[in-house]
Structure 1
Amino acid sequence: MTTRFDLTLDCADATVLAAFWKTALGYVDEPPPAPFATRAEWVASFGPPENNEEDEEDDGAWLCDPDGVGPRLSILKVREPKTAKNRLHIDVRVPGHGSPEQRWDRIVAEAERLARAGGTIEARFDGHHVVMTDPEGNEFCVAADSRSAG
């Protein structure tokens, strides 16, 4: 039996980061868990924060794969800034087969699309993958998905 898992990203601005990752992954806002009608109701069910500070509207975002295949992605606001390289990162896999040149062209096109969405291209490993960072500096890679058809 496999274990389901979610990924969580700490951030300074959940709204900006959620918008970027929805664009990058094709994810959507995850509906609140039953019986709650909204995420705000669900968050309120936990009671007031322990630190007695006002909650902010963009404290978190919860995203999911609309097809239910990929892991959920939680994006949570934290006070601490990012200070080091990620020990775990996301690989964005570009679908389709073809020649190595065709796969590389698709990787580059996807990296450029994500750069226009707010990411930054950090390094290109020609023919293999592109290293990028999201709007808050979290590293990820863009590479081909050899398992997909097309």
Structure 2
Amino acid sequence: MTPFQLTFDCADPTVMVRFWANALGYEAEPAPTGFSDWNAYWRSAGVSEEKPVGDGCGSIVDPRGTGPRIWFQPVPEGKSVKNRLHLDIRASGGREVPLAIRKERIDAEVLRLVKAGATRLRVLAPEDHDHYAVVMQDPEGNEFCLA
């Protein structure tokens, strides 16, 4: 396997780190060894004092070490079109779980993430399919699904 990270362009890495760490059960990535915090690291890497780095932490990691690192890269422009890539968060327990229970689990996760700053957009539940999902947006408008 080739190691990879996911990168979100964003306006406010601090907000995105907080939201996505909560949504995925991740944690803010600690500063590299030898640095008191991320600001010290970024300044040592040549990022000028004029360039804001917020609290310096723009990444989250899976505490179990199995999921990819996710980095939130600050960019000046806002999101303007639909994502070409999105995350599907598996909140239901999978198809072996009865549909009614999957719906309850997903709906509970929708409520939790709305309280954390997400927006509920629409339900995906075709009448003739054993499927239920909810399309959401994170605090900066990036779409993701709860399935």
Please report the TM-score for the alignment, with normalisation by the length of structure 2.
0.85
Task: Please say if 1:80 is aligned against 2:77.
Answer: yes
Matched residue of 2:41: which SS? helix
- Alignment partner for residue 65 of structure 2, among 40, 44, 68? 68
Percentage identity across paired residues of the two chains: 45
Q: Per-residue CA shift, 1:78-109, capped at 9, x if unaligned?
A: 10111111111111111535211111211111
Change (3 A) 1:59 1:11: farther
Query: Where does residue 57 of structure 1 map in the other structure?
Result: 54
Question: Could you list the runs of 4 or more consecutive aligned residues of structure 1 that deviate by over 3 angstroms after TM superposition?
Answer: none
1:37, distance to aligned residue in structure 2 (A)? 3.4
Task: Please say if 1:109 is aligned against 2:108.
Answer: yes
Query: Where does residue 35 of structure 1 map in the other structure?
Result: 34
Q: Per-residue CA shift, 1:37-95, capped at 9, x if unaligned?
A: 3212221122144xx84324246511001111111111121101111111111111115
Which consecutive residues of structure 2, in runs of 5 or more, have no partner in the other structure?
126-130
Which consecutive residues of structure 1, in runs of 5 or more, have no partner in the other structure?
144-150
Query: Where does residue 143 of structure 2 map in the other structure?
Result: 139
Task: Please say if 1:94 is aligned against 2:91.
Answer: yes
Distance 1:65 1:95 in 2: 20
Change (3 A) 1:53 1:41: closer
The answer (yes or no) to whether the contact 2:124–2:134 under 8 Å persists in 1 is yes
- Alignment partner for residue 134 of structure 2, among 115, 130, 134? 130
Distance 2:141 2:57 in 1: 17
Distance 2:30 2:17 in 1: 14
Distance 2:25 2:85 in 1: 20
The answer (yes or no) to whether the contact 1:60–1:74 under 8 Å persists in 2 is no
Say what the alpha-carbon RMSD is for the aligned residues: 1.8
Change (3 A) 1:30 1:48: closer
1:9, distance to aligned residue in structure 2 (A)? 0.8
